[in-house]
Amino acid sequence: ECHQWYKKFMTECPSGQLTLYEFKQFFGLKNLSLAANKYVEQMFETFDFNKDGYIDFMEYVAALSLVLKGKVDQKLRWYFKLYDVDGNGCIDRGELLNIIKAIRAINRCNETMTAEEFTNMVFDKIDINGDGELSLEEFMEGVQKDEVLLEILTRSLDLTHIVQLIQN
């Protein structure tokens, strides 16, 4: 499996360093809305562990392993980091709303609940202290206690289609 990942990575990125542009091309992310573009940039930044502006093969493997095989608490910590766009240690309503809209635009999914309704539901369920922000603790505990939220988050970042791209 790792050999396939390496082969795909080096075929698509002979320099061994994936730029944001190449990252979008690699995963077939084209003609994105502004919100979706920002989300992809945020995802790229969370995968770029050493913050050098590139994703090298080790970062790529670490990110794929986390998303595909990581334990629930590891994934939730990564989701939190991904959703905390301004990096202040909390997720506010605006950040969550923009991420949900972006994920839906990328996945082209039609949900029964609007992004606003979903955001409100999340905050109603897990913003324990009612301050309008989700701390890491609130997020981790709240999502782990609510199977519906956990399922929605997991499904929203389902990378099965990406694994299929890599394997083909």
- The CATH number given to whatever domain includes residue 16 is 1.10.238.10
Structural contact between residues 106 and 32, judged by C-beta atoms closer than 8 angstroms? yes
Judge whether 70 and 61 are in contact, CB under 8 Å. Answer: no
The domain tally of the chain equals 1
Question: Taking the model in full, what pTM does it have?
Answer: 0.76
For residues 93 and 132, the answer to whether their CB atoms sit within 8 Å is yes
Residues of the domain holding 21: 2-167
Q: What is the pLDDT of residue 108?
A: 67
Of 25, 57, 24, 62, nearest to 46 (Cα)? 62
The per-residue pLDDT for 164 is 55
Say which residues have a Cβ less than 8 Å from residue 68's Cβ, sequence separation at least 6. 159, 163
Contacts 24+ apart (CB under 8 A), 140-144: 140/73, 140/76, 140/77, 140/80, 143/76, 144/72, 144/73, 144/76
The C-alpha atoms of residue 159 and residue 37 are separated, in whole angstroms, by 17
Return the ∠ at Cα 109 (arms to 112 and 84), rounded to 5°: 90
Per-residue pLDDT of the chain (168 residues; tens, 9 = 90+): 678 888 888 888 899 999 999 888 877 777 888 878 888 888 899 889 999 999 999 998 888 888 778 888 888 998 899 889 899 999 999 999 988 888 877 776 667 788 899 899 999 999 999 999 999 999 999 999 999 888 887 776 665 555 555 545
> What is the amino acid identity at position 116?
E
- The structure tokens 């997720």 sit at 91
Residue type, 54: Y
